[in-house]
Structure 1
Amino acid sequence: FEYRIQVSTLDCTGCGNCANICPAKNKALVMKPLDTQEVQIRNWDFASKIPVKENVVPSDTVKGSQFKKPLFEFSGACGGCGETPYAKLVTQLFGDRMLITNATGCSSIWGGSAPSAPYTTNAKGKGPAWANSLFEDNAEYGYGMVLAMKQLRSKIEDYMRELSEMNIDPLAKKAISEWIAGKEDERANRESTARILKLLGGDLGDKKANEIGEKILELKDYLIKKSVWTFGGDGWAYDIGYGGLDHVLASGENINVLVFDTEVYSNTGGQASKATPIGAVAKFAASGKKVKKKDLGLMAMSYGYVYVAQIAMGASQKQTIRTFIEAERYNGPSLVIAYCPCINHGIYAGMGCTQLREKQAVDAGYWHLYRY
């Protein structure tokens, strides 16, 4: 196949990050004035109508992941926002089966500004289910979804086991046993679900079996394993919602937490949070913060059964994608803390250099990359 990276001229915020970090010797992208790029509007309209080619390349690599359709697009975030690239990548990896709970803050504003929303669907109509919680109860909100999902899928498994003991087609029994065996394996689960849906759509040769099949079909949205994510900023995770976050991580349940760490309360204008480092000047810390940054990752590690990682996309795209995949596959709670440069930082080089800023933060030893 040949491919082209097509930009939506009318939706681009013009920050320039993509052009700045392009690794090619001859840049694949060059920033030009809007009025010189009107021809690209037609190209975008054409490109958006081309059918998606699934599984052309492995999606668990940096390059491969970018052939997956983002199920997050055209948000209302600041141009060059450090948070949105992480949300985009997560939806490319897991978006068609994601449930997202979002703490109030910047990510709930760019994530759900009525009457529009940047979360979208693929060609099959599948996409992230997104909901905004209060500031303080986001982790518990996501935890409730995890428990609900667990209960519904457990009910499906009970129905499946009951069916498998009945006098039905051996092929149906095989499909049922494969679904039960691969219930928590996303790839195997997709394949067995497709077979189950095809079989349950017909006559199983037994009245009672058909009744059970109908009950399973009523719950068909839960046949495929869901990926539950809790999004929020450092004001939520380190401060106002920390009690709930700690409780949910301690539960041992399979939930993924993504913290957009801007190191200040971004949405309300840059007030200091517990994520603000010592000496930093921010609102409520005009003479420099007097105490050091809370080590949220280390605190979560102390449980011994929580997957914990710190990432910075601009420093290592490979480590970022590996972290998301490992966190999602881990059968237990995961906490991913992502470094997010923000307009409140007053970056001298401008918001077109936020990805570069992430690399500089890691190179200088200011921000550490790890997976635990």
Structure 2
Amino acid sequence: TAIAPFVPGFHDRNFNDQRWRVLVRYAQASDHWILVAQRADTRYLLADSIVMESVLAVVVSLPVAALFIWVIVGHGLRLLARLASQLRHKKAADLSPLDLDNPPEELAVIVAAVNALLNRLARSFARERRLTADAAHELRTPIAALKIHLHNLAGKLPPGDPTLAQLQAEATRLEHLIAQILLLYRMEPEHYRATMEVLDLTEIARQTVANRYAEFESKEQDVHFEGHSQPILGDRFAIATLVENLVANASRYTPNGGRIAVATSATAERVILEISDSGPGMAESERERVFDRFYRIGGDRNPASGSGLGLSIVKLIAEQHHATIRLGASPFGSGLSVCVEFPLSEEPPVAAPNGSA
């Protein structure tokens, strides 16, 4: 009995208690029918085997492919990560070009564009600083001439003339502003080459207070100084400027008959300069803004306000010496306390030239 009818094509037939897949063909050359049969269960096992081998190959190749892709992409993004790291760690005043060795063509375009932007910013800031410094320098001569004319005018007016007194005060304030602008320009890191040495912060503070004694006396201010030798690593001119600005601020904002305290001390890791006054003080909301250039509490309405640059210079010098500044309440009940904390130096201080700071 034939397993399938003699009809060309595929047939599914039951034969001998088994299910068969049968292919029927007619061979004209030999005038024979050809029947090829395979059990269905064998076909299913073969199909399952093929599927499992295919799936297993995909499962094994996926982690390998993922690792391969991760290595290639990671290598391609490595320079991009370096670029991001350089940008992330750049300080606000650092406008130097980015430095990447042999970046790929796609990244080189970005690096070139960023460096061009940094270069334009650097030139713009440099022009601004030069303009400010040149203008301040050129204004010194007319201000000096103005003060001479005011001095001559004073001889022709009655003593205590209020208009003349106001003009003299404004001329002095303008002269101070110009001096502070020039000092700020000079203290910029790209212009000032600091000479670091071990200094006695206490001696510099003591000399600064002594130099301003006439001003304290004219305002009948009670100045208390306390401190022992405290060595720090710093530039003599810069540290003297920092102390001078803080002491001048304390005197300016302290009323006649007020109190000022200047003290130096040390902890296990820091040397502390603290200057307190009995002036009006400032609100906590103002304590961050006072370091902004030309910011003055009360603005032009405050007759005691300075140039608005003193604390900006102090902050700049403190940053150059890795020092921190804290503003707080004065121990006198009213006023401001300024603490500048310097890293500790264990070497003995170098004496100031000619015994002065």
Task: State the TM-score, normalized to the length of structure 1.
Answer: 0.24
Structure (1 or 2) with the greater helix fraction: 2
Structure (1 or 2) with the greater strand fraction: 2
Tell me which structure has the larger Cα radius of gyration: 2
Task: State the TM-score, normalized to the length of structure 2.
Answer: 0.24
